[in-house]
Amino acid sequence: MKPRVLPGFGLSFGYTIVYLCLIVLLPLSALVLKTSELTLAHFWQVVTGERVMAAYRLTFGASLIAALINLFAGLLVAWVLVRYPFPGKRLIDALVDLPFALPTAVAGIALTTLYAPNGLIGQYLAPLGIQVAFKPLGVVVALTFIGLPFVVRTVQPVLQDLEAELEEAAACLGANRWQTFRKVIFPAALPALLTGFTLAFARAIGEYGSVIFIAGNIPLESEIVPLLIIGKLEQYDYAGATAIATVMLAISFVLIFVINLIQWWHGRRHGMRK
């Protein structure tokens, strides 16, 4: 153990653990407890049903695609906002936060209106045979919308802190632009990118309000997992609902944990203090 600079570790650590237990672990244990009403065989039967599996695929698949889109789009937006002065920059910057601020149901209704076959965007896609609303594609669109701010807001400060001198030094040493990006900028931004990606992904998995209007809710085709949970609740099958929720939680936790591991490993490799 290194001697610590700040005193009071014991107190603050204790406080952290208690707080996390109350706010995070307690509701989660209630969830698992409710699930334990089921026998293991029944639990397995509930969480591996054909429709549930199809919904897992849609929810996790669409969330992953949406988070990947946001990874690239978010980096680009953050880059533009940090590096280039242009008129209306403050406004654009504020616009990025809009998906945060908008109530999800409002976002869902607005997106459905846009992408419905008679909507502003949908009417041009319909003749091309592309239907967004009420199809899995719509789910991806909605999840991309709500996830964008996460990546932008996590990468922005990192890019801001990255001095231009670094890039200039790289250029002086003969690096071309691509090399500068690959060897200087990207490694510095990667931890933040991964954090943003994780946040966008995690948020998308649990998303209900913005997706429910644009998904078609057709069994085996366009049902998201939260809808199935509501379906169980409508039968007053609390245990079945929490079983599906618990599985979602477990999968999410594993995925987020893996991404955190990657970050940690990356940090060690590049000798950055985490």
Partner 1 sequence: MRKLGRLIAPLLLASLSAAALAGPELLNVSYDVMRDFYKDLNPAFQKAYKAQTGQDVTVQQSHGGSGKQARAVIDGLEADVITMNMPPDIDALYDKAKLIPENWAARLPNASLPFTSLQVLIVRKGNPKGIKDWSDLAKPGVQVVMPNPKVTGNGRYSYLAAWGYALRQPGGNPQKAAEFVGAILKNVPVLDSGGRAATTTFMQRQIGDVLLTFENEAEMIAREFGRGGFEVVYPSLSVRAEPPVTVVDKVVDKKGTRKEAEAYLKFLWSPAAQEIAAQNYLRPQDPAVFKKYAAQFPAVKLFTVDEVFGGWRNAQKTHFDDGGTFDQIYTKK
Residue 57 as a binder of partner 1 (CB under 8 A): the answer is: no
Residue 252 as a binder of partner 1 (CB under 8 A): the answer is: no
Q: At what angle do helices 89-96 and 136-161 cross, to 10 degrees?
A: 130
C-beta closer to partner 1: residue 50 or 163: 50
For 4, residues 6+ apart whose C-beta sits below 8 A from its C-beta are none
CA triple 194-198-199, angle to 5 deg:
120
x/- mask, partner 1, residues 160-199, rule CB under 8 A, reads ----------------------------------------
Smallest gap from Cβ 237 to partner 1, in A, equals 7
Distance, CA of 16 to CA of 117 (rounded, Å): 50
Smallest gap from Cβ 126 to partner 1, in A, equals 11
Q: Which of 49, 184, 252, 266 binds partner 1 (CB under 8 A)?
A: 49
Residue 203 as a binder of partner 1 (CB under 8 A): the answer is: no
Residue with tokens 């594993």: 254
The rounded Cα 234 to chain-centroid distance in angstroms is: 28
Three-state SS sequence of 258-272: HHHHHHHHHHHHCCC
- Say if CB 225 and CB 52 are below 8 A apart: yes
Among 180, 196, 191, residue whose Cα is nearest residue 83: 180
98-117 residues near partner 1, rule: CB under 8 A: 103, 105, 109, 112-113, 116-117
C-beta closer to partner 1: residue 217 or 252: 217
Smallest gap from Cβ 93 to partner 1, in A, equals 25
Among 218, 207, 186, 209, residue whose Cα is nearest residue 51: 218
The rounded Cα 156 to chain-centroid distance in angstroms is: 17
Residue 212 as a binder of partner 1 (CB under 8 A): the answer is: yes
Q: Which stretch binds partner 1 (CB under 8 A): 21-29, 33-41, 195-203, 231-239?
A: 231-239
In the complex, the residues that contact partner 1 under the rule CB under 8 A are 46, 49-51, 103, 105, 109, 112-113, 116-119, 133-134, 212-213, 216-220, 227, 230-237, 240
